[in-house]
Structure 1
Amino acid sequence: MKRATLREVAQKAGTSMMTVSRVINSRDSVSDETRERVLRAIKELGYEPHKDARILRGGKAGRIGIVVSDIRNPFYSQVVGDLEDLAEENNMAVIVSDTSKRLDQEKKAIKSLLDIKVDAIVVAPEGYESAHLIDVISSGTEVVSFGVHFENEEISEVSIDEISGASKAGAYLRSAGISDAVMIMGNPRKFTTRGRMKGFRKGFGEVPEDKILYCEVDWKASCRRVMELHKLPEAFFCYNDMMALGVMKALEERGVKLGSEVRVIGYDDVYMAEIAGITTLRIPIRSMVEEAFKTILGEDVRKIVFTPEFIQRKSA
């Protein structure tokens, strides 16, 4: 006889899989009415959790796993720091894993966190595959996607409206009379890359493919690409502030006056962006982390979207 799954229990009870998991774990965040529906569905389906599942341990481990693509990036360092602050306030620990911007490493990192029985996983995913996240949710462990939107309704997320954010950068340059812009972007498969490219084009207008430079998300890589250009554009729109720093370094070495001869716009507004005078799109990291933490402690799947704020400084 086929074993009933957590997904089937959720469907029968008319709830999310996370709610079913919370009922099994006897968490207080579920209403009495919802709890009764879930327990009834469990009984009718004869559902039995896997013997190795975390939910059989009778409570929380008090640990949150967080998976980031590059802990050296100040954006993710701030995400981890803010999450650690909130976890400490709630007597929980944070376990950090770095994927080096690789999907295979993301999957391995998540598996390792499951092996040590974390209560929930906050992941800043590569974003072009979600099946492994669904598998984790189906097993009873909470997952929150940080910064990346997925169409799947089962994945909780705190994401960025990349298109609206990047369109502000494009519109600003166009309004300033700029007609020749180059985009310095990361992995073209990533949701964030595609969204920022689409948004910039929405605000600026069409950008030819030969005006899009893809490279590793690292300031040294973007610096090299700009140093290789025979002719500089009027402006650069960069995937993030780290890449903007690399562009600015290259312009300095080429003797170009930043902000007047060539303009540079970044993305994220990490702490060093203000120090370096980078015009950028500010992502409200602290607010996003707070919403991710609320999702972990709450009952239902949540999809929260933030729109970046355009911040003008000397680089543009």
Structure 2
Amino acid sequence: MINKESPHKITVHDVAKKAGVSTATVSRVINNSDTVNNDLRIRVQTAINELGYRPNRAAYHLRSGKVKRVGVLFADIRNPFFTSVLAGIENYLHQADYALILGNSDENQKIERMQLQAFLDEGVAGIILSSVVNSSEQYQQVIEAGIPILAIDRVPDNLKVDSISINNIKAAKEATEHLINLGHKDIGFIGGPERISTAKLRKLGYLEALEKIPNSKPTIELGDFAQAGGYQATINLLSAHKDISALLVANNLMTLGALEAIHEKKILIPDQIALVGFDDMPWATSLQPPLTVVSQPTYDMGKIAARLLLDRIHNPDSPIQQVTLETHLVVRESCGGLNRDPFQ
């Protein structure tokens, strides 16, 4: 644990002073040397625990010439979005002679804390993080331990670290405006949990676009960024709002759930409802009709994220970099083409 009461970062010298031993003895205890007697080992370990000292294993790996490692923690590794991002990260790290340790928080705050602790224990040089929550408090222990974090895709509020994401507001706004330009007035939105930054921002983009339609009323159901949540949210929305003629879904897995719900209700796409999703997955063109999507540059996002993190590791005092990548709308048959005036 980090010692919250200490005005400075605890060092090996602090441990040595408290235990009444040399710094060399402390180092031998940390490295599990068998040359330290049991009494000294207990004294040193007690001092470590009381002070909250955490050995800088990343620095040790660098000094010793051992493999340098980066932790990558994703919110849901089952999501094809993250696997594509991972490919970009892995490519760049391997070229830079860094190994990758992968973790999956499964959209669970407790698991995320556990994974972050494991990364600290493993002595990673830095962490690429897709966060589960939108608060910076969850990540203070890592920052106080001196391990750089790169926020990818999701950027928690007030977390002052390097980041890379898309312009979520613009992406959702442009997708909604496309449906408006096709003549739709009653456009529904299937969003994600608002504790997640991307979900909150995509909802804002949808709302901004609806301002173009006089007297429009937002129609929103929130899911959980998983297929089951997308299914249930779509069932709820379509059951309560039978006049909906178009639907924007805020991530790829929820889009699959939305498709399941639409087919279950025997609603025809795009004749009875137009559909736009997020992320251009390989299966998008195999659907009938092929799916209109907001395409994100996932592989490039991964490569740039890895570059930014390594830059931070080697230049810890450089200015914070916040990179925003552009998306583009890939128009296919699922959104149809009503071509009527939305203001008639």
Per the shorter chain, which TM-score range?
0.7 to 0.9
1:309 aligns with 2:328: yes
TM (norm. structure 1) is 0.78
Alignment deviations for residues 257-303 of structure 1 (CA, whole Å, 9 cap, x no partner): 21232011111223333333221111111121111111122123311
Amino acid at match of 1:107: R
Amino acid at match of 2:326: T
Amino acid at match of 2:274: R
Paired positions, count: 273
Alignment map for 1:15-94 (pairs within 5 Å):
52-57=55-60, 59=62, 61-94=67-100
Partner of 2:220: 212
SS of 1:266's partner is strand
Partner of 2:230: 222
What's the offset of the Cα at 1:180? Answer: 0.7
User: Out of 261, 281, 292, which is 1:279 matched to?
Assistant: 292
Amino acid at match of 1:67: L
Q: Which structure has the bigger radius of gyration?
A: 2
What's the offset of the Cα at 1:235? Answer: 0.9
- Equivalent-residue separation in structure 2 for 1:285 and 1:292 (angstroms): 10
SS of 2:286's partner is helix
What's the offset of the Cα at 1:222? Answer: 2.0
Alignment map for 1:225-264 (pairs within 5 Å):
225-228=233-236, 229-230=238-239, 231=242, 233-264=244-275
Structure 2: runs of 5+ lacking an equivalent? 11-52, 336-344
Partner of 1:33: none
Does the Cα contact within 8 Å between 1:149 and 1:160 map onto a contact in 2? no
Q: Percent identity?
A: 22
Amino acid at match of 2:143: I
Structure 1: runs of 5+ lacking an equivalent? 7-49
Partner of 1:297: 310
TM (norm. structure 2) is 0.72
CA RMSD of aligned residues (A): 2.5
Partner of 1:45: none
Amino acid at match of 1:273: A
What's the offset of the Cα at 1:74? Answer: 0.6
SS of 2:283's partner is helix
1:147 aligns with 2:153: yes
Q: 1:53 to 1:315 in 2, by over 3 A?
A: same
User: Out of 133, 144, 159, which is 2:139 matched to?
Assistant: 133
SS of 2:257's partner is helix
SS of 2:221's partner is strand
